[in-house]
Amino acid sequence: MPDALKKRFRFRMISPVYPAFNIYSNVASWTTSLGPVHVATAANKMAQWDAEMIDENNLRRYGPRSKEGGADHEFLQRQRPADVVGFYGGLTSTIPRVYKLAHFYKSKGVVTVAGGQHFVGDNIMDALSHGIDYIVIGEGEETVQELLEAIQGKRDRAQVKGIAYLKDGKLILTAAKDPLQDFDKLPLPDFSLVRYARIKVYPVERIRGCGMDCEFCTVKGNPRAAGPERLLEQIRLLVETRDARHFFIVDDLFGQHRTETVQLCYELKDYQRRIGKRLDFTAQIRLDKAKDPELLLAMRQAGINMVCIGFESPIAEELKAMNKLINPEQILSFTKIFRKFGFLVHGMFIFGYPLKEGASFSMTAKERVKRYRTFIRKARIDTIQILMPVPLPGTQLSARLKRQGRIYDLAEVGWEYYDGNFPVFEPDAPLTAEEMQASRRAIMGSFYRFRCLFKIGLNILLFPGLVFFLGNINLGWRTWYRNWRNDLVRFMGWIVIKEWNLNYQKDRFFEKLQSAKGQTGR
């Protein structure tokens, strides 16, 4: 417990580093996670408390680094001793790092707290036995303030809703806390609390929750929205105090609460016109929003240039297993509309999704790869992300695969592999785990290629050709820029994949996998 006689206390929120061979480490180095910033901001508003956030994936501004990756917490604790440390457990693959840091801070007499999507069911007790004193269940902005008061001795911890802890070795779960409804009472996220980070793309949000009920997803429940004014104020604050230009709207589905979303887009358009600056936004959206041309036009006018879309699969049977009410032909048609409106389209796929009991569908790895490549070419997607299914804790997919005895033994294939880049369960026949891994790499490898380097040079040579678009210079620029940008991104993607492959070869994953397969009995 913190010394009650101290005048001020320090709360340190930590977003743990990804596993060393995660291919998304490069992207994470110029942004940060929004949830931990919200929690640190709430703690920083309390009397007697100073808060900071350490994003171990973004330490580019004088960040103290450890030899093993991530921050040097020994140095941090000497320089600015923390009384309470919070850990972001939103990504299952980072949990081994969370546990390691928790043990370190516990050895220093620090109170440890963790929260995030990973901590459900048996994982709560598992965390409490790995150096975590308290688990926050659900949203943390209000809970962290009440919990810090309890740690100070100002209130009874048993009365703090939405937490779990051990008392005399027994698990205590307090009363559940209702999801937040009034977001306007929360302070705006304070990115100045993120020490050492150099942020280029700022995460912002307006809506939490998603009612689509996908089997593999942890985000459930009816969407809860703040007013458009709150998101606009977040953006204004970042533009005017941090010279921000690039934003990622982290809402699971942009376009929910449609009327207010359109209003927000018009207000963003007016704001940019008033300040004389063009801002750049990326948003996640559903394919069927292609049927709403007014929304798409408003989005483009607001500066939303890229949309991230969960295509999931070009195979109809897999889409049905995921509870996706769409077919491949509709996907192609809707994608064409997004491109027509000028959006850059980032397509997200899940390769080798396991079908539900009773399904008779069967397809070889070779045919699946062929289907994916053909579909991606026809859809003319600008960038792609191919992941393997991950039975994340608390999802319907995890429950189904556990019931079928198909998830590999965690003692052999640990949480660090739960990032979509590794097979962690026995796939549907005739696929094998090795084929699923190789197929994913083959699709990504045929898209992100070295030869795009030469196409970048060719596009530069073609730049003077814009003179032929003098009648519609905007169209000419968009066409040229899209080709140049995509070739640049694809070449850079080739570099990232090459580095990932080198690190992957050093790992003993398939040796672990062979041992883990024996544990499934398949």
> Residue 124 domain-assigned?
yes
Cβ pair 139, 119 in contact under 8 A: no
Q: Does residue 464 sit within a domain?
A: no
What's the number of domains the chain is made of? 2
Range of the domain at 408: 199-448
- Whether the model pTM is above 0.75: yes
Could you tell me if 209 and 349 lie in one domain?
A: yes
Q: Are residues 156 and 204 in the same domain?
A: no
Looking at residue 428, its pLDDT comes to: 93
Last residue in a domain, options 173, 191, 211: 173
- Residue 10 pairs with which residues in a beta bridge? 50
Residue 149 domain-assigned? yes
What pLDDT score does 457 carry? 78
The three-class DSSP label of residue 170 is strand
d(CA 102, CA 116): 15
- Give the domain CATH number at 63: 3.40.50.280
Q: Are 219 and 77 in contact (CB under 8 A)?
A: no
- Domain membership of residue 490 (yes or no) is no
- Residues 205 and 161 both lie in one domain: no
Q: How far is CA 222 from the centre of its chain?
A: 20
Please report the pLDDT score of residue 326 as a whole number: 87
* Amino acid making up residue 409: D
Q: Which of 373-410 are b and which e, b meaning 16 or more Cβ less than 10 Å from the residue's Cβ?
A: eebbeebebbbbbbbbbbbbbbbebbebbeeeebbbee
Same domain, 240 and 147: no
- Do 242 and 129 lie in a common domain? no
Which of 429, 448, 467 is the last residue in one of the domains?
Answer: 448
Question: Do both 417 and 295 map to the same domain?
Answer: yes
Coil, strand or helix: which one is 100?
A: helix
Last residue of a domain, which of 448, 471, 489?
448
CA 26 to chain centre: 13
Residues 138 and 79 in one domain: yes
In a domain, 46, yes or no: yes
Q: Please check whether residues 153 and 214 belong to one and the same domain.
A: no
Query: What's residue 462's pLDDT?
Result: 63
Average pLDDT of adjacent 10-residue blocks, the chain of 522 residues? 77 93 78 97 97 97 92 97 97 96 98 96 96 97 97 96 97 96 94 97 94 84 92 97 97 92 97 97 96 97 96 88 84 96 95 86 93 95 95 94 92 89 94 94 94 82 57 64 89 89 82 69 47
Looking up residue 416, the CATH number of its domain turns out to be: 3.20.20.70
Do 74 and 147 reside in the same domain of the chain? yes
Choose among 441, 443, 408: nearest CA to 426.
Answer: 408
Q: Is residue 401 part of a domain?
A: yes
Structure tokens at 140: 């943390």
Q: Round to whole Å and give the CA distance between 158 and 154.
A: 12
| 425 and 329 part of one domain | yes
Give the side-chain half-sphere CA count within 13 A for 287: 23
In a domain, 417, yes or no: yes
- How far is residue 64 from each of residues 47, 73, 86, measured CA to CA in Å? 28, 8, 19
> Is the same domain home to 226 and 82?
no
Whether residue 203 sits in one domain with residue 163: no
Q: What is the DSSP-derived secondary structure letter of residue 425?
A: B
* C-alpha distances out from residue 183 to 62, 187, 305, Å: 34, 9, 27
**Dist CA 217 CA 220 (whole Å):** 8
In a domain, 468, yes or no: no
